[in-house]
């Protein structure tokens, strides 16, 4: 019950910020739309690459072309996600300082940081390709070698995802490039040990409850409305889809908002407006076992 209460408190504080800046919800929605459009644009060259492979293109040449197309996919999707994620972080930053950024204010800020966003996307895509290569090599190995390489790849991916936790907030707050932002993110996590980030199980637990409730809702809708025939099924599908979409947008924003608050607290020792100092202090454990930061 204590963990549930703490998790719900995290959600309420994050939702409270979103309630004041509802335009935040548009950013992950736009990211999803642009990502879908980007993948559709890449559909033709992807099919072309496959046709070239079937047409007898050399295995080495085909592999290079295939990974080049994959790199472009990673690059584009990373750029889109980072651009709109930066909009959410910037909106949160302005709100934490007592201001009120408009939708276009946040868009203009991300546009002013296109260079660093692209550089970060290049780096993220390169890491993604490297991890994909490890997957490919592991799939070609057998026995113990495959298991060891698969475990190594999984650990490497997990470490990377942890190290870059605060990259976007570092780029927004400290105007850093991707490499320096990674260093700042790693330092922030290392200084506070990072293993007790309550956001991971806080919002995640509440999000799980919302998703589970959505599954029950969908089952109930399909069971009841299916009696009305095809129109009822369509209505059930629409309602269920809107529910899960709204849940995704809400928790995507909430994760970013709380992550930004954690970054401010961890790097500056300041508690952002609308957040509880006790809650943030519990999110980190200092190097000598004390709570709070390392200032």
Residue 87 has pLDDT above 80, yes or no: yes
Q: What is the pLDDT of residue 117?
A: 97
Say whether both 179 and 230 belong to one domain: no
Q: Which structural domain, as residue segments, surrounds residue 153?
A: 2-191
3-state secondary structure 125-182: HHHHHHHHHHHHHHHHCCHHHHHHHHHHHHHHHHHHHHHCCCHHHHHHHCCCCHHHHH
Enumerate residues 6+ apart whose C-beta is below 8 A from 258. Answer: 10, 13, 14, 199, 202, 203
Say whether both 24 and 65 belong to one domain: yes
Mean pLDDT, residues 214-229 = 85
Domains of the chain: total? 2
Say whether both 227 and 137 belong to one domain: no
Q: What is the pLDDT of residue 52?
A: 60
Say whether both 47 and 7 belong to one domain: yes
Residue 108 has pLDDT above 60, yes or no: yes
Distance CA 269, CA 75 (A): 34
Q: How confident is the model over 40-77, as pLDDT tens digits?
A: 887 776 666 666 666 555 544 556 777 888 899 999 99
Distance CA 82, CA 182 (A): 14
Say whether both 126 and 10 belong to one domain: yes
64 belongs to a structural domain: yes
Residue 2 has pLDDT above 80, yes or no: no
More confident residue, 229 or 81: 81
Say whether both 263 and 130 belong to one domain: no
Residue 32 has pLDDT above 80, yes or no: yes
Please, which pLDDT band fits residue 265 given cuts at 50, 70 and 90? confident
Mean pLDDT, residues 106-126 = 96
Say whether both 105 and 64 belong to one domain: yes
Q: What is the pLDDT of residue 131?
A: 92
Say whether both 180 and 90 belong to one domain: yes
Residue 197 has pLDDT above 70, yes or no: no
293 belongs to a structural domain: no
Q: What is the pLDDT of residue 295?
A: 28
Say whether both 180 and 247 belong to one domain: no
Say whether both 175 and 216 belong to one domain: no
């Amino acid at each position: 019950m204590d963990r549930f209460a703490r998790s719900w408190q995290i959600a309420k504080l994050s939702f409270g910020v979103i309630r004041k800046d509802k335009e935040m919800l548009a950013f992950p929605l736009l990211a999803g739309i642009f990502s879908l459009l980007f993948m559709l644009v890449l559909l033709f060259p992807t099919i072309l690459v496959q046709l070239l492979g079937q047409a007898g293109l050399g295995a080495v040449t085909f592999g290079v072309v295939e990974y080049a197309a994959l790199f472009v996919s990673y690059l584009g999707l990373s750029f889109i996600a980072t651009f709109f994620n930066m909009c959410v972080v910037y909106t949160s930053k302005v709100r934490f300082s007592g201001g009120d950024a408009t939708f276009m204010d946040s868009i203009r800020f991300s546009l002013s940081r296109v260079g660093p966003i692209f550089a970060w996307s290049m780096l993220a895509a390169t890491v993604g390709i490297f991890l994909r290569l490890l997957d490919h090599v592991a799939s070609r190995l057998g026995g113990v070698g495959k298991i060891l390489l698969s475990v190594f790849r999984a650990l490497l991916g997990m470490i990377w995802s942890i190290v870059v936790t605060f990259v976007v907030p570092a780029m927004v707050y400290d105007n850093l490039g991707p490499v320096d932002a990674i260093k700042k993110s790693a330092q922030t996590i290392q200084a506070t040990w990072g293993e007790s980030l309550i956001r991971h199980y806080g919002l995640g637990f509440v999000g799980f409850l919302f998703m589970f409730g959505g599954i029950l809702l969908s089952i109930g809708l399909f069971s009841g409305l299916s009696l009305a025939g095809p129109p009822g099924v369509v209505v059930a599908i629409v309602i269920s889809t809107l529910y899960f979409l709204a849940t995704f947008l809400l928790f995507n924003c909430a994760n970013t908002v709380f992550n930004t608050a954690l970054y401010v607290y961890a790097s500056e020792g300041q508690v952002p407006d609308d957040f509880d100092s006790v809650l943030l202090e519990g999110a980190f454990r200092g190097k000598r076992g004390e709570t709070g930061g390392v200032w």
